[in-house]
């Protein structure tokens, strides 16, 4: 199998020489799939930081038999059409609902041309279906654990120390955090808190940082840490609780459980909105609509009970979300999709 992954992302090598990327959807999906294909002796490459025109001119594109397009912010219609004209199998990895954000318009344009799509959740598959051709195949491949495992801990800080909360994610998800800040500030009158936000695009968070500045020394204060896999893991390790807000019936409904998985692996209790993808892990977190009530409930739970739930959750994650397991599923999925599409094309031409 010869597979080419295409993505509009900054792909580079980390200090250990391993391929990595800025976007989580590239790192834990496309890069992971490429590495798994290599382990199984397959030819796989990724092209990024480029343009559709250069992709069409590249030897990698001409040699590939299967093209997988991830998150792109340019018009790759010509690439998709040429791939189809050359008899290549065209697959999209759809990790965001194309209906919800204008910047995903290019995925919507490509969807009718795709032979198949790979999605992280069943809900994402349902969201993508209206954009696909009738015969397109949709397959779910979940996200793997990316974080390191740390011993579970629920030894929460108490006044005069501040309870340490952490939120992490894409800057676009900051909108889901903001509605919870005032209720948390009210609770902080009794339980002083600090929330650390781990992300990119500092300017998105300046309003929060101004209102809850550490220099004001109010009941709730906030600080910002530039995101990296290391800084996120460090922030989780330093936290008492992880906050994961979202819109269960809105823009977050199709998200994978990767942020909740990171919290559990990091040994910290997450207070999370009830997203559909979180339901299988709800025994190992506090999944609740009102995050402020969730924080209050967490503080009332015995530490031993929380730590036991987290330890059990870590075992679930090791069994169900290991990179090796998910990588093998990518290999199987790509091989199956490629074979099925080729058979269907051969039958159509017979």
Is 336 among the domain residues? yes
Shared domain for 193 and 286, answered yes or no, is: yes
- Domain housing 259: 163-320
Reply yes or no on whether the pLDDT at 74 is more than 60: yes
Helix (H, G, I), strand (E, B) or coil at 201: coil
Task: Identify the pLDDT of residue 102.
Answer: 60
Question: Which is more confidently placed, 11 or 108?
Answer: 11
Give yes or no for a contact between 70 and 5, defined as CB atoms under 8 angstroms apart: yes
Shared domain for 130 and 35, answered yes or no, is: yes
Is 313 among the domain residues? yes
In this prediction, residues 246-250 reach a mean pLDDT of 76
| Measured distance between the N- and C-terminal CA atoms of the chain, rounded to whole angstroms | 24
Is 203 among the domain residues? yes
Is 34 among the domain residues? yes
Mean of per-residue pLDDT scores for the chain:
92
pLDDT in tens, 14-27: 888 889 998 889 99
Task: Identify the pLDDT of residue 125.
Answer: 86
Q: CA nearest 40: which of 339, 335, 343? A: 335
Ramachandran sector of residue 87 (left: φ over 0; alpha: ψ -120 to 50; beta: rest): left
In degrees, to the nearest 5, what angle opens at C-alpha 242 toward C-alphas 264 and 260? 40
Shared domain for 36 and 80, answered yes or no, is: yes
Task: Identify the pLDDT of residue 349.
Answer: 76
pLDDT in tens, 259-303: 999 999 999 999 999 999 899 999 999 999 999 999 999 999 999
Is 157 among the domain residues? no
pTM given for the model: 0.87
Task: Identify the pLDDT of residue 38.
Answer: 97
Shared domain for 241 and 139, answered yes or no, is: no
Shared domain for 308 and 199, answered yes or no, is: yes
CB atoms < 10 A from the CB of 12, how many? Answer: 12
Shared domain for 167 and 312, answered yes or no, is: yes
Which two structure tokens, joined as six digits, stand for 37? Answer: 């294909």
Shared domain for 255 and 129, answered yes or no, is: no
Shared domain for 181 and 308, answered yes or no, is: yes
Rg of the chain over Cα atoms, rounded to whole angstroms, equals: 22
Give yes or no for a contact between 140 and 120, defined as CB atoms under 8 angstroms apart: yes
Helix (H, G, I), strand (E, B) or coil at 41: coil
**Long-range contact list for 133-141, CB < 8 A, 24+ apart?**
135/344, 136/111, 137/337, 137/340, 137/341, 139/333, 139/336, 139/337, 141/29, 141/326, 141/329, 141/330, 141/333
Is 149 among the domain residues? no
Is 229 among the domain residues? yes
Band of the pLDDT at 251, cuts 50, 70, 90?
low
Strand (E) or helix (H) holding 221: strand 220-226
Shared domain for 200 and 278, answered yes or no, is: yes
Reply yes or no on whether the pLDDT at 132 is more than 70: yes
In the chain, % of residues over pLDDT 90? 76
Is 158 among the domain residues? no
In this prediction, residues 72-77 reach a mean pLDDT of 94
Shared domain for 183 and 301, answered yes or no, is: yes
Which two structure tokens, joined as six digits, stand for 325? Answer: 């397991």
Reply yes or no on whether the pLDDT at 67 is more than 70: yes
Nearest-angstrom CA–CA distance, 256 and 275: 9
> What does the DSSP 8-state code read for residue 130?
G
In this prediction, residues 201-226 reach a mean pLDDT of 95
Task: Identify the pLDDT of residue 337.
Answer: 94
Shared domain for 184 and 262, answered yes or no, is: yes
Band of the pLDDT at 131, cuts 50, 70, 90?
confident
CATH number, domain at 285?
3.40.50.2000
Shared domain for 180 and 310, answered yes or no, is: yes
Q: CA nearest 146: which of 70, 15, 236, 71? A: 236
Band of the pLDDT at 170, cuts 50, 70, 90?
confident
Give yes or no for a contact between 321 and 143, defined as CB atoms under 8 angstroms apart: yes
Domain count, the chain: 2
In this prediction, residues 176-197 reach a mean pLDDT of 96
In this prediction, residues 318-327 reach a mean pLDDT of 94
């Amino acid at each position: 199998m010869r597979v080419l992954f295409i993505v509009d992302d900054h792909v580079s090598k980390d200090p250990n020489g391993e391929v990595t990327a800025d976007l989580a959807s590239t790192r834990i999906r496309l890069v992971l799939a490429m590495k798994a294909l290599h382990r199984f002796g397959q030819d796989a490459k990724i092209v990024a930081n480029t343009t559709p025109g250069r992709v069409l001119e590249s030897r990698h594109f001409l040699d590939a038999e299967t093209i997988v397009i991830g998150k792109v912010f340019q018009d790759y219609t010509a690439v998709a059409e040429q791939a189809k004209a050359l008899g290549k199998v065209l697959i999209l990895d759809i990790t965001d609902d194309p209906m919800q954000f204008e910047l995903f318009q290019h995925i919507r344009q490509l969807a009718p041309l795709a032979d198949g799509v790979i999605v992280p959740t069943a809900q994402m598959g349902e969201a993508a279906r209206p954009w696909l051709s009738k015969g397109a195949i949709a397959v779910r491949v979940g996200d793997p654990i990316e974080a390191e495992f740390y011993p579970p801990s629920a030894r929460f800080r108490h006044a005069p120390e501040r309870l340490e909360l952490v939120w992490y994610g894409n800057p676009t998800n900051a909108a889901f955090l903001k509605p919870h800040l005032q209720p948390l500030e009210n609770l902080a009158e009794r339980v002083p808190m600090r929330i650390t936000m781990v992300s990119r695009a500092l300017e998105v968070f300046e309003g929060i940082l101004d209102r809850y500045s550490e220099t004001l020394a109010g009941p709730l204060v906030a600080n910002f840490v530039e995101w990296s896999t290391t800084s996120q893991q460090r922030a989780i390790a330093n936290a008492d609780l992880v906050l994961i807000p979202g819109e269960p019936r809105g823009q977050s409904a199709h998200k994978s459980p990767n942020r909740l998985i990171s919290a559990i692996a990091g040994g910290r209790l997450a207070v999370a909105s009830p997203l559909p993808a979180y339901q299988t892990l709800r025994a190992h977190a506090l999944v609740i609509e009102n995050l402020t009530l969730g924080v209050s409930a967490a503080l009332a739970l015995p530490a031993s009970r929380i730590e036991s739930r987290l330890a059990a959750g870590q075992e679930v994650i090791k069994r169900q979300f290991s990179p090796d397991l998910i990588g093998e599923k990518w290999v199987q999925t790509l091989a199956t999709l490629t074979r099925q599409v080729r058979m269907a094309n051969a039958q159509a031409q017979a």
